[in-house]
Every structure is written in C-alpha cells, then in structure tokens.
Amino acid sequence: MARFSALLCALVAAVTSAGAVPAPLVDRAVIPGVPGPSVALFTVFTNVNYGGKDITFVDQKTTGCIEATGDFISSVSSIKLDQPDIACNLWSETNCGGTGGIVVAGDIPSLFTFGFNDKMVSFNCYSTA
C-alpha cells in the first residue's frame, strides 16, 4: 500500500507541475476478504467527450456494488477506464439494480450512444484478467 501511495503522490506531483489539475479521487475502504491493493479504476465526466466535472473512482479491481456520489449521481455522460484489465457495470438504480445497465470495457466518449446518458446511480467493476 505504501508503494501505491508513493506512486500516486509522484503521479499527482508530475501532473500538477505540468499545469494540469488532476481529477478528484474517491477512495473506498478495502473490501474485507478481497485481496489486492486499491487502484484508480475509472474516471467519469458530466459532459460528453470527457468534459465538465470529473472524478476518479479508486478501489480494488473487483469492487462489489458502489453508489455514485454527489454531483455524479445521474449526471455522467462519458467515462474513461484507468485499468486495461477491468470492466464495469453501470446501473440506473441504487444497489446495482434497475431495468437498464451497461457493461463498460473501454473508454466511452458519449453515453448517449448507449442510451445511458445521465443515468448512472451505482456501479460494480471486476477484473477481466
């Protein structure tokens, strides 16, 4: 964990010194009984083409169900995966439920394409490796 924290600090310092503002991070507690370090999973944006407000979700690669927070409840329009070996399910209701959900296995510049713009309320991710 200390190695990950040092790497994250170095990455933030490099991005900040380059003049860019890093996305805020949401770091959940480690899930009991699930091994592995927390990593940046994906970044969501409130506008298409990775614009507007953004936030990066940090957790283990297999997350269990996570509720969206604050300004990102029912307002996500694009998503970038930060890990090449994960996929995430986006859900339209709390507790990873609802009649419609989509699987994200790569970057999506517009959730309009999938009829899922401004619908994400919860999500779960898992390793594809």
For residue 109, the domain's CATH number is: 2.60.20.10
| Per-residue pLDDT in tens (0 to 9) along the chain, 129 residues | 344 333 334 333 433 334 444 444 444 444 444 456 688 889 999 999 999 999 998 888 888 899 998 999 999 999 999 999 999 999 999 999 886 689 999 999 999 999 999 999 999 999 998
Number of domains in the chain: 1
Q: Which residues form the domain of 59?
A: 2-127
| Secondary structure (H, E, C), the chain | CHHHHHHHHHHHHHHHHCCCCCCCEEECCCCCCCCCCCEEEEEEEEEHHHEEEEEEEEECCCCCCEECCHHHCCCCCEEEECCCCEEEEEEEEHHHEEEEEEEECCCECCHHHHCCCCCCCEEEEEECC
